[in-house]
Chains A and B, each alone.
Chain A
């Protein structure tokens, strides 16, 4: 069942659209940021290190290293939407179209729901992380991976930011940690999106609802000085705020636990799912 669902997800048009848009933004970043840094005459003084300037590095030129460039802003803004496009609405579509009943005849509800949620989460992770990895790889082809220097003033990760000290001490470890935080956030978004499909009226709303919730969260948390905990901020490896990693993981971990509890309840009430 899991293999079937993963196959359906990978073959779906929406997954390809999501991946294509993400990768296009990664290439856009390469063209407007990394290539000018690497070859543009306007940055020649930085490359030569004139007047003590720190040369451009991979870590302040890739998609996750330039929080104020237009491609980066756009990417992390639409990332929750990119995560939900591939397969979050699939459970809703199956239930509404009657396909879920066909599948439930051949398998038990627990396996079906588990496969659906796992494939939805995998689709979301691939759709969001592949463009980031692509950007890292493409930027590495034109710029050296010079270690970040806090005094250079050209790296956007503040030493006081979440895991900021790790960024300047062990950059690759920082990136790996951040990818794990991102995966946790994306899991919460995709899982919640999949479950929302059981109560929302159509596939479009199922896809858009998590994105809208993320947007409302980012507006609503600002007055409480907690905007660093919004999904858009947590997905960005160069955060502008100083979130506490424990609080962030607890917040998104509790969303995941809530999703798990709801999934268990739904599995117990299989008749409702069949309706």
Chain B
């Protein structure tokens, strides 16, 4: 059997996994639409509830309903109760669940054949890694579609500091999702997903001062220019790169094992 290269396998993944990719983009877009509606409702409610002198604290920016923010418009008010940022967590879980689902399906369909017959198992894992990156990037773009209806879109796109902040947070989200996807191959999909859900909940609840909660760095509602002396964009990009390196290492380690681990998508 000829050894398939990473590129060949990646092209095959693009053909076979297109439905999963489209499903991920559509689901993200739908959740984003609901996020916009939910945000507008919450903004109006916050404006009604707050005394007139405090309405400036309510974030009118419709971009805040994005998955990157993950909080209610008035959540920076300490006296208001916390509510779980469902759209933010939902998007991050989608970025993990659908890629794992595709890898699991493909592993059962053809991956097990390829992995047992080829001497270069790393190619298969790396192709899946590349496919996951592409799928999440497409989903991120799909999440922006509902925001095109917002009147402030031009200001936001051309504001010099804002777009890089979104971009660095998006890269960090992507890297985090990829690492979790890769981790699920080793630890099992369902336990990983459960742990990740709890982790996201804790990230949303706790302040972003703790660097262990990388997830909360992707929430731009708590966006600060610096953590200590370091610019936050630098921290996010470094963290994203580190996570990508770890993900690649997981790929290589997975391929070196004698027992083919594969994506452990099933519990039984």
Chain A residues proximal to chain B, CB less than 8 Å: 12-14, 17-18, 21, 67-68, 70, 73-74, 77-78, 81-82, 85, 89-90, 93, 201-205, 207-208, 211-212, 215-216, 218-220, 222-223, 225, 232, 240
The minimal Cβ–Cβ distance linking A80 to chain B, given in whole angstroms, is 10
Closest 6 CB pairs of A and B: A14-B267, A223-B37, A219-B34, A223-B41, A222-B38, A74-B201
* Docked-complex contact A215 and B190, CB < 8 angstroms: no
Residue-wise, chain B 86-108 has the 8 Å CB interface mask toward A (1 for contact) of 11011001100100110011001
Of B52-60, B191-199, B220-228, which binds chain A?
B191-199
Residues of B within 8 A of A81 (CB): 193-194, 197
The minimal Cβ–Cβ distance linking A231 to chain B, given in whole angstroms, is 12
Q: Name the CB-closest residue of A to B263.
A: A204
* Docked-complex contact B197 and A78, CB < 8 angstroms: yes
A129 to B100 CA separation, bound complex (whole angstroms): 29
Further 16 A-B residue pairs, CB within 8 A, beyond A12-B268, A73-B82, A204-B101: A17-B191, A70-B205, A77-B89, A78-B201, A90-B268, A202-B104, A202-B105, A204-B189, A204-B266, A211-B197, A212-B90, A212-B94, A212-B97, A215-B89, A223-B37, A223-B41
A162 to B105 CA separation, bound complex (whole angstroms): 43
Q: Secondary structure of the B side of the interface? A: helix
Q: Known A73-B201, A74-B201, A81-B197; judge A219-B101 contact (CB<8 A).
A: no
A240 to B80 CA separation, bound complex (whole angstroms): 13
A240 to B82 CA separation, bound complex (whole angstroms): 11
Q: Say yes or no for B40: interface residue by CB 8 A criterion.
A: yes
Residues of A within 8 A of B90 (CB): 212, 215-216, 219
* Docked-complex contact B81 and A240, CB < 8 angstroms: yes
Residues of B within 8 A of A89 (CB): 266-268
Residues of A within 8 A of B197 (CB): 77-78, 81, 211
Q: Name the CB-closest residue of B to A67.
A: B81
Q: What are 16 A-to-B residue pairs whose CB atoms are below 8 Å?
A: A13-B267, A13-B268, A14-B190, A14-B267, A17-B194, A18-B194, A67-B81, A70-B202, A73-B205, A74-B202, A74-B205, A89-B268, A203-B265, A204-B189, A205-B97, A215-B89
Q: Name the CB-closest residue of B to A219.
A: B34
Q: Say yes or no for B183: interface residue by CB 8 A criterion.
A: no
B266 interface neighbour in A202, A212, A225, Cβ under 8 Å: A202
Q: Name the CB-closest residue of B to A78.
A: B197
Residues of B within 8 A of A223 (CB): 34, 37-38, 40-41
Interface extent on B, as a size class? 35 or more
Chain B residues proximal to chain A, CB less than 8 Å: 27, 30-31, 34-35, 37-38, 40-42, 81-84, 86-87, 89-90, 93-94, 97, 100-101, 104-105, 108, 189-191, 193-194, 197-198, 201-202, 205-206, 265-268
Residues of A within 8 A of B82 (CB): 68, 73
A78 interface neighbour in B34, B86, B191, B194, Cβ under 8 Å: B194
Residues of B within 8 A of A205 (CB): 97, 101
Q: Known A68-B81, A78-B201, A215-B90; judge A222-B42 contact (CB<8 A).
A: yes
A70 to B104 CA separation, bound complex (whole angstroms): 33
* Docked-complex contact B86 and A218, CB < 8 angstroms: yes
Residues of B within 8 A of A232 (CB): 84
A203 to B193 CA separation, bound complex (whole angstroms): 13
A180 to B41 CA separation, bound complex (whole angstroms): 32
Q: Name the CB-closest residue of B to A222.
A: B38
A230 to B212 CA separation, bound complex (whole angstroms): 31
* Docked-complex contact B38 and A204, CB < 8 angstroms: no
Residues of B within 8 A of A67 (CB): 81
A13 to B102 CA separation, bound complex (whole angstroms): 23
Q: Name the CB-closest residue of A to B82.
A: A68
* Docked-complex contact A202 and B265, CB < 8 angstroms: yes
- Most chain B Cβ neighbours within 10 Å, of A81, A85, A205, A211: A205
Residues of A within 8 A of B41 (CB): 222-223, 225
* Docked-complex contact A77 and B201, CB < 8 angstroms: yes
* Docked-complex contact A216 and B30, CB < 8 angstroms: yes
* Docked-complex contact B86 and A204, CB < 8 angstroms: no
* Docked-complex contact A208 and B97, CB < 8 angstroms: yes
Residues of A within 8 A of B268 (CB): 12-14, 89-90, 93, 203
Residues of A within 8 A of B205 (CB): 70, 73-74
